[in-house]
Protein backbone atom coordinates (compact mmCIF):
# COMPACT_ATOMS: atom_id res chain seq x y z
CA UNK A 1 0.00 0.00 0.00
CA UNK A 2 1.41 3.38 -1.04
CA UNK A 3 -1.32 5.84 -0.14
CA UNK A 4 -4.94 5.73 0.98
CA UNK A 5 -7.65 8.02 -0.35
CA UNK A 6 -10.66 8.26 1.92
CA UNK A 7 -9.62 4.90 3.32
CA UNK A 8 -9.15 3.20 -0.07
CA UNK A 9 -5.66 1.93 -0.87
CA UNK A 10 -3.51 2.65 -3.89
CA UNK A 11 -1.00 -0.14 -4.36
CA UNK A 12 2.15 -0.90 -6.33
CA UNK A 13 0.04 -3.14 -8.60
CA UNK A 14 -2.28 -0.24 -9.42
CA UNK A 15 0.70 1.97 -10.15
CA UNK A 16 2.17 -0.69 -12.46
CA UNK A 17 -1.11 -1.02 -14.39
CA UNK A 18 -1.48 2.76 -14.67
CA UNK A 19 2.02 3.06 -16.09
CA UNK A 20 1.47 0.21 -18.55
CA UNK A 21 -1.82 1.63 -19.88
CA UNK A 22 -0.36 5.12 -20.24
CA UNK A 23 2.86 3.83 -21.82
CA UNK A 24 5.04 5.21 -19.04
CA UNK A 25 8.38 3.69 -17.96
CA UNK A 26 7.92 0.81 -15.54
CA UNK A 27 10.56 2.33 -13.30
CA UNK A 28 10.46 6.11 -13.28
CA UNK A 29 12.30 8.80 -11.37
CA UNK A 30 11.33 9.90 -7.87
CA UNK A 31 9.60 12.92 -9.43
CA UNK A 32 7.68 10.88 -12.00
CA UNK A 33 6.60 8.36 -9.35
CA UNK A 34 5.24 11.20 -7.22
CA UNK A 35 3.41 12.66 -10.25
CA UNK A 36 1.91 9.26 -11.15
CA UNK A 37 0.69 8.71 -7.59
CA UNK A 38 -0.85 12.19 -7.49
CA UNK A 39 -2.76 11.32 -10.65
CA UNK A 40 -3.92 8.04 -9.12
CA UNK A 41 -5.17 9.99 -6.10
CA UNK A 42 -7.23 12.22 -8.40
CA UNK A 43 -8.47 9.15 -10.24
CA UNK A 44 -9.67 7.60 -6.99
CA UNK A 45 -11.51 10.76 -6.01
CA UNK A 46 -13.11 10.91 -9.43
CA UNK A 47 -14.04 7.23 -9.20
CA UNK A 48 -15.98 7.97 -5.99
CA UNK A 49 -17.70 10.95 -7.61
CA UNK A 50 -18.74 8.99 -10.69
CA UNK A 51 -20.02 6.09 -8.58
CA UNK A 52 -22.22 8.54 -6.67
CA UNK A 53 -23.52 9.85 -10.01
CA UNK A 54 -24.20 6.29 -11.20
CA UNK A 55 -22.13 6.79 -14.34
CA UNK A 56 -22.30 3.15 -15.41
CA UNK A 57 -20.03 1.78 -18.11
CA UNK A 58 -21.14 -0.50 -20.94
CA UNK A 59 -19.92 -3.96 -19.90
CA UNK A 60 -19.20 -5.12 -23.45
CA UNK A 61 -17.07 -2.08 -24.23
CA UNK A 62 -15.16 -2.56 -21.00
CA UNK A 63 -14.57 -6.26 -21.68
CA UNK A 64 -13.28 -5.41 -25.16
CA UNK A 65 -10.91 -2.80 -23.71
CA UNK A 66 -9.55 -5.30 -21.16
CA UNK A 67 -9.04 -7.88 -23.92
CA UNK A 68 -7.21 -5.32 -26.07
CA UNK A 69 -4.92 -4.37 -23.17
CA UNK A 70 -4.01 -8.01 -22.55
CA UNK A 71 -3.31 -8.53 -26.24
CA UNK A 72 -1.04 -5.49 -26.13
CA UNK A 73 0.92 -7.16 -23.34
CA UNK A 74 1.40 -10.22 -25.54
CA UNK A 75 2.51 -8.14 -28.53
CA UNK A 76 5.12 -6.49 -26.36
CA UNK A 77 6.27 -9.90 -25.09
CA UNK A 78 5.68 -8.81 -21.53
CA UNK A 79 5.01 -11.35 -18.82
CA UNK A 80 1.72 -10.48 -17.05
CA UNK A 81 3.02 -12.22 -13.92
CA UNK A 82 5.76 -9.61 -13.72
CA UNK A 83 3.19 -6.83 -13.91
CA UNK A 84 0.88 -8.18 -11.20
CA UNK A 85 0.84 -11.36 -9.15
CA UNK A 86 -1.95 -13.32 -10.92
CA UNK A 87 -4.27 -13.22 -13.92
CA UNK A 88 -7.44 -12.64 -11.89
CA UNK A 89 -5.90 -9.60 -10.24
CA UNK A 90 -4.68 -8.40 -13.64
CA UNK A 91 -8.23 -8.49 -15.03
CA UNK A 92 -9.59 -6.71 -11.98
CA UNK A 93 -7.02 -3.92 -12.11
CA UNK A 94 -7.41 -3.46 -15.86
CA UNK A 95 -11.19 -3.17 -15.49
CA UNK A 96 -10.76 -0.67 -12.69
CA UNK A 97 -8.39 1.56 -14.60
CA UNK A 98 -10.05 1.31 -18.01
CA UNK A 99 -13.56 1.91 -16.69
CA UNK A 100 -12.69 5.35 -15.31
CA UNK A 101 -12.34 7.28 -18.61
CA UNK A 102 -15.44 5.48 -19.91
CA UNK A 103 -17.47 6.52 -16.86
CA UNK A 104 -16.17 10.07 -17.25
CA UNK A 105 -17.45 10.13 -20.83
CA UNK A 106 -20.86 8.99 -19.58
CA UNK A 107 -20.85 11.88 -17.10
CA UNK A 108 -19.78 14.37 -19.78
CA UNK A 109 -22.63 13.19 -21.99
CA UNK A 110 -25.01 14.28 -19.25
CA UNK A 111 -23.54 17.66 -18.35
CA UNK A 112 -22.25 18.97 -21.69
CA UNK A 113 -25.30 20.05 -23.63
CA UNK A 114 -25.36 21.43 -27.16
CA UNK A 115 -25.89 24.89 -25.68
CA UNK A 116 -23.00 24.73 -23.20
CA UNK A 117 -20.69 23.53 -25.97
CA UNK A 118 -21.80 26.38 -28.23
CA UNK A 119 -21.41 28.89 -25.41
CA UNK A 120 -17.84 27.72 -24.79
CA UNK A 121 -17.03 28.09 -28.48
CA UNK A 122 -18.47 31.60 -28.64
CA UNK A 123 -16.70 32.75 -25.44
CA UNK A 124 -13.31 31.67 -26.78
CA UNK A 125 -13.97 31.81 -30.50
CA UNK A 126 -10.58 33.21 -31.52
CA UNK A 127 -8.87 30.31 -29.73
CA UNK A 128 -10.80 27.72 -31.72
CA UNK A 129 -11.60 29.21 -35.13
CA UNK A 130 -8.04 29.48 -36.48
CA UNK A 131 -7.62 33.19 -35.76
CA UNK A 132 -4.08 34.56 -35.92
CA UNK A 133 -2.64 37.38 -33.87
CA UNK A 134 0.49 39.41 -34.25
CA UNK A 135 1.95 40.23 -30.88
CA UNK A 136 4.89 41.87 -29.16
CA UNK A 137 6.51 41.11 -25.85
CA UNK A 138 8.76 42.53 -23.18
CA UNK A 139 10.62 39.73 -21.48
CA UNK A 140 12.69 39.40 -18.34
CA UNK A 141 14.68 36.26 -17.57
CA UNK A 142 13.68 34.86 -14.20
CA UNK A 143 15.09 31.54 -12.99
CA UNK A 144 12.58 28.92 -11.86
CA UNK A 145 14.26 28.89 -8.45
CA UNK A 146 14.25 32.69 -8.05
CA UNK A 147 13.53 33.74 -4.48
CA UNK A 148 10.36 35.62 -3.49
CA UNK A 149 12.19 38.95 -3.23
CA UNK A 150 13.52 38.72 -6.79
CA UNK A 151 10.13 37.70 -8.13
CA UNK A 152 8.39 40.57 -6.35
CA UNK A 153 10.96 43.08 -7.61
CA UNK A 154 10.54 41.83 -11.19
CA UNK A 155 6.75 42.11 -11.00
CA UNK A 156 6.99 45.63 -9.61
CA UNK A 157 9.38 46.65 -12.38
CA UNK A 158 7.07 45.28 -15.06
CA UNK A 159 4.06 46.92 -13.43
CA UNK A 160 5.85 50.28 -13.69
CA UNK A 161 6.73 49.66 -17.33
CA UNK A 162 3.14 48.71 -18.11
CA UNK A 163 1.84 51.83 -16.36
CA UNK A 164 4.16 54.00 -18.49
CA UNK A 165 2.93 52.32 -21.68
CA UNK A 166 -0.75 52.58 -20.75
CA UNK A 167 -0.29 56.25 -19.80
CA UNK A 168 1.26 56.96 -23.18
CA UNK A 169 4.62 57.99 -21.72
CA UNK A 170 6.43 55.43 -23.88
CA UNK A 171 5.43 53.19 -26.76
CA UNK A 172 5.43 49.42 -26.31
CA UNK A 173 8.07 48.98 -29.00
CA UNK A 174 10.39 51.54 -27.41
CA UNK A 175 9.90 49.95 -23.99
CA UNK A 176 10.73 46.54 -25.48
CA UNK A 177 13.93 47.88 -27.06
CA UNK A 178 14.91 49.41 -23.72
CA UNK A 179 13.87 46.69 -21.28
CA UNK A 180 13.29 43.32 -22.97
CA UNK A 181 15.88 40.55 -22.67
CA UNK A 182 14.46 38.56 -25.59
CA UNK A 183 15.99 38.54 -29.10
CA UNK A 184 12.77 40.21 -30.29
CA UNK A 185 13.81 43.39 -28.43
CA UNK A 186 15.67 44.55 -31.54
CA UNK A 187 12.34 44.44 -33.42
CA UNK A 188 10.46 46.34 -30.75
CA UNK A 189 9.32 43.10 -29.15
CA UNK A 190 7.54 41.82 -32.28
CA UNK A 191 7.23 38.01 -32.19
CA UNK A 192 5.23 37.71 -35.41
CA UNK A 193 1.98 35.93 -36.24
CA UNK A 194 0.70 32.81 -34.47
CA UNK A 195 -2.46 30.84 -33.81
CA UNK A 196 -3.72 29.62 -30.45
CA UNK A 197 -2.35 26.16 -31.18
CA UNK A 198 0.97 26.59 -32.87
CA UNK A 199 4.48 27.74 -32.25
CA UNK A 200 3.88 29.63 -29.00
CA UNK A 201 3.69 27.96 -25.56
CA UNK A 202 0.09 27.43 -24.36
CA UNK A 203 0.60 29.50 -21.20
CA UNK A 204 1.44 32.52 -23.36
CA UNK A 205 -1.40 31.93 -25.82
CA UNK A 206 -3.91 31.76 -22.98
CA UNK A 207 -3.02 35.34 -22.06
CA UNK A 208 -2.49 36.81 -25.51
CA UNK A 209 -5.71 35.53 -27.08
CA UNK A 210 -7.74 37.28 -24.38
CA UNK A 211 -6.27 40.68 -25.28
CA UNK A 212 -7.87 43.22 -27.57
CA UNK A 213 -5.63 44.92 -30.15
CA UNK A 214 -3.56 47.57 -28.39
CA UNK A 215 -4.30 46.21 -24.91
CA UNK A 216 -1.30 45.44 -22.68
CA UNK A 217 -1.38 42.36 -20.49
CA UNK A 218 -0.66 42.40 -16.80
CA UNK A 219 2.80 41.01 -16.00
CA UNK A 220 2.67 37.21 -15.98
CA UNK A 221 5.21 34.52 -15.27
CA UNK A 222 5.98 31.32 -17.15
CA UNK A 223 8.79 28.80 -16.83
CA UNK A 224 10.76 31.05 -19.18
CA UNK A 225 10.54 34.22 -17.13
CA UNK A 226 8.32 37.30 -16.79
CA UNK A 227 6.30 38.72 -19.69
CA UNK A 228 4.30 41.71 -20.85
CA UNK A 229 2.39 41.22 -24.11
CA UNK A 230 0.36 43.32 -26.46
CA UNK A 231 -1.56 42.37 -29.60
CA UNK A 232 -0.88 44.56 -32.62
CA UNK A 233 -2.99 42.90 -35.33
CA UNK A 234 -5.63 40.17 -35.69
CA UNK A 235 -6.61 37.95 -38.62
CA UNK A 236 -10.01 36.35 -37.83
CA UNK A 237 -10.32 32.62 -38.48
CA UNK A 238 -13.07 30.89 -40.45
CA UNK A 239 -13.57 27.58 -38.64
CA UNK A 240 -17.03 26.98 -37.20
CA UNK A 241 -18.16 24.94 -34.21
CA UNK A 242 -18.64 21.74 -36.21
CA UNK A 243 -15.06 21.99 -37.47
CA UNK A 244 -13.65 22.06 -33.93
CA UNK A 245 -16.33 20.43 -31.78
CA UNK A 246 -13.95 17.72 -30.54
CA UNK A 247 -11.42 20.34 -29.40
CA UNK A 248 -14.11 22.34 -27.59
CA UNK A 249 -15.36 19.25 -25.76
CA UNK A 250 -11.80 18.20 -24.90
CA UNK A 251 -11.12 21.57 -23.30
CA UNK A 252 -14.39 21.54 -21.36
CA UNK A 253 -13.56 18.03 -20.16
CA UNK A 254 -10.13 19.14 -18.91
CA UNK A 255 -11.59 22.16 -17.17
CA UNK A 256 -14.29 20.12 -15.44
CA UNK A 257 -11.76 17.49 -14.34
CA UNK A 258 -9.35 20.09 -12.96
CA UNK A 259 -12.13 21.97 -11.16
CA UNK A 260 -13.43 18.75 -9.64
CA UNK A 261 -9.96 17.60 -8.53
CA UNK A 262 -9.23 20.96 -6.91
CA UNK A 263 -12.45 20.91 -4.91
CA UNK A 264 -12.32 17.19 -4.04
CA UNK A 265 -8.81 17.42 -2.60
CA UNK A 266 -9.95 20.05 -0.10
CA UNK A 267 -12.09 17.56 1.82
CA UNK A 268 -10.40 14.26 0.93
CA UNK A 269 -8.48 12.27 3.52
CA UNK A 270 -5.20 11.42 1.82
CA UNK A 271 -2.67 9.44 3.83
CA UNK A 272 0.76 8.57 2.44
CA UNK A 273 1.95 5.21 3.71
CA UNK A 274 5.41 5.67 2.25
CA UNK A 275 7.56 8.49 0.94
CA UNK A 276 6.09 9.31 -2.50
Domains of the chain from N-terminus onward: 3-117+247-272 (no CATH), 132-235 (3.10.50.40)
pLDDT-based confidence at residue 156 (cuts at 50, 70, 90): very high
What pLDDT, on a 0 to 100 scale, did the predictor assign at position 80? 63
Q: How far apart (Å, rounded) are the C-alpha atoms in residues 217 and 164?
A: 13
Which of the four pLDDT bands, split at 50, 70 and 90, describes residue 82?
low
**Confidence grade of residue 275 (pLDDT, cut at 50, 70, 90):** low
Of the two residues 200 and 273, the one the predictor is more confident about is: 200
Residue 262, pLDDT above cutoff 70: yes
> Which pLDDT belongs to residue 81?
61
- Mean per-residue pLDDT over the chain, rounded: 92
Q: What is the pLDDT of residue 160?
A: 97
Distance (Å, whole) CA 4 – CA 8:
5
Q: Which helix (H) or strand (E) holds 220?
A: strand 220-221
Q: How confident is the model at residue 198 (pLDDT cuts 50, 70, 90)?
A: confident
Determine the pLDDT at residue 30: 87
> Residue 137 belongs to what H/E stretch?
strand 132-141
Q: What local confidence, expressed as pLDDT, does residue 183 receive?
A: 96
Q: What is the mean pLDDT of the segment spanning 214-232?
A: 96
Give the phi and the psi of residue 13 in degrees, each rounded to 5.
-60, -40
Distance (Å, rounded) from C-alpha 147 to C-alpha 143? Answer: 9
The pLDDT score that the predictor gives to residue 70 is 87
Q: 145 pLDDT band (50/70/90 cuts)?
A: confident
Amino acid sequence: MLVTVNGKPITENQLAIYRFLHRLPAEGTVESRKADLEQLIENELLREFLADRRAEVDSQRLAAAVKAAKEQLKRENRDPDKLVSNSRLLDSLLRRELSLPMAWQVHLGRVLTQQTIRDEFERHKSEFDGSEVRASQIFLKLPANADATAVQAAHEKFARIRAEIVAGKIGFADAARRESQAPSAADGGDVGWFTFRGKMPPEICKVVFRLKPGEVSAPFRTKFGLHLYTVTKVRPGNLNLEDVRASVIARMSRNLWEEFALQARKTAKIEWQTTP
